Chains A and B, each alone.
Chain A
């Protein structure tokens, strides 16, 4: 009994290989064989220095940021307070207020003196007596000596 089944190999076409297959292979191998860039011995030391410097700067920045934040908070709070508590309006805009009259009670220390009971009139004013000549009473004075 002969085997009439065709083999898989015959049925399937052969896969074409690119003409420059070897060149492509060489190129990929060459890329993988490129020299490795050496790392300097001071790499870690330099990295540590840069990290420390960065942390120092970051601390300063954080401090400055916190200060700014504090200033912003305080000024914001003041602004809010000012917003909710506006200052009293100026005098011309102030509404007229009724002021009750001031009542001053009598003070005993300041009682008025009693009013005079008698009023003077022109008739009751005494006049000086008019001069009357006294007989023989006038003696002329001597002239003054020089």
Chain B
């Protein structure tokens, strides 16, 4: 998507919402290109942490930007652009993940609401998952990614948006289209689960994870 340098400079000074308005109302390809350049890295990163495979993440990131192009008229100017884009990416990732998990997932949702009354599918952890060394080259990064992949999808989604993408709780609630309380609960439980899964790594590095009396 080649752009004239002057045009690029002019568009780069605009914020996301202004660019989106230009793209939405005037069909400005330049505005779209600047948005793609601005968000391709965060979106790819979010998707990689969610699906755990670099090639899939790149493909899904492209799918996200195609949907942005296709459904530009669905954007409301009162909405924050980044939140809207993460919502698209989350939906893309969920669809992909559900298709991949369908063969290995057993649904007990009707039988097992959790203590918050929230029903979700119990997923069989993918023990065969191998971290992608093109991204995670260190042992620590590989262990963390493996632990992330062992979380249920809704927990992983929440913890990645909070701890890696650094979104606020309110933004996460908007992205995940759920209540603020549910988001906090999911993040909390995801942290607890990660602590269980990664305790041995910490202890290898620093000794006991709990303070000695």
Which of B42-50, B78-86, B87-95, B103-111 faces chain A? B42-50
Q: From residue B66, how far is it (CB to closest CB) to chain A in Å?
A: 6
A7, B98: Cα distance in complex, Å? 58
Known: A32-B166, A37-B135. A27 touches B66 (CB 8 A): no
B contact residues, total (Cβ < 8 Å): 41
Q: How far is the CA of A28 from the CA of B144 in the complex (A)?
A: 11
Minimal beta-carbon separation of A14 from chain B (angstroms): 15
Contact A46 B163 (CB under 8 A): no
Q: Is A51 an interface residue (CB 8 A)?
A: yes
Chain A 1-35 interface 0/1 with B at a Cβ cutoff of 8 Å (1 = within): 00000000000000000011111101110111011
Q: CB-CB < 8 A to B33: which residues of A?
A: 44
The reply to whether A37 and B164 form a contact with Cβ atoms under 8 Å apart is no
Size category of the A interface is 20 to 34
Which of B114-154 touch A at CB < 8 Å?
Answer: 135-138, 140-141, 144-145
Query: What is the 8 Å Cβ interface bit string for chain B, positions 59-102, against chain A (1 contact, 0 not)?
Result: 00110011001100000000000000000000000000000000
Q: Are A44's CB and B37's CB within 8 A?
A: yes
CA distance A40 to B206 in the complex (A): 36
B57 within 8 A of A: yes
For B145, what are the chain A residues with a Cβ–Cβ distance below 8 Å? 34
Known: A32-B164, A35-B137. A47 touches B144 (CB 8 A): no
Q: Which residues, 3 to 22 on B, are CB-close (under 8 Å) to A? A: none
Listed by A's residue number, 13 A-B pairs whose Cβ atoms lie within 8 Å are A20-B195, A21-B211, A23-B199, A31-B163, A34-B141, A34-B144, A36-B41, A37-B41, A37-B135, A39-B41, A43-B62, A48-B1, A54-B70
Interface residues of A (CB under 8 A from B): 19-24, 26-28, 30-32, 34-40, 43-44, 46-48, 50-51, 54
- List residues of B whose CB falls within 8 A of some A CB: 1, 33, 36-37, 40-41, 44-45, 48-49, 54, 57-58, 61-62, 65-66, 69-70, 135-138, 140-141, 144-145, 159, 163-164, 166, 191, 194-195, 198-199, 202, 206, 209-211
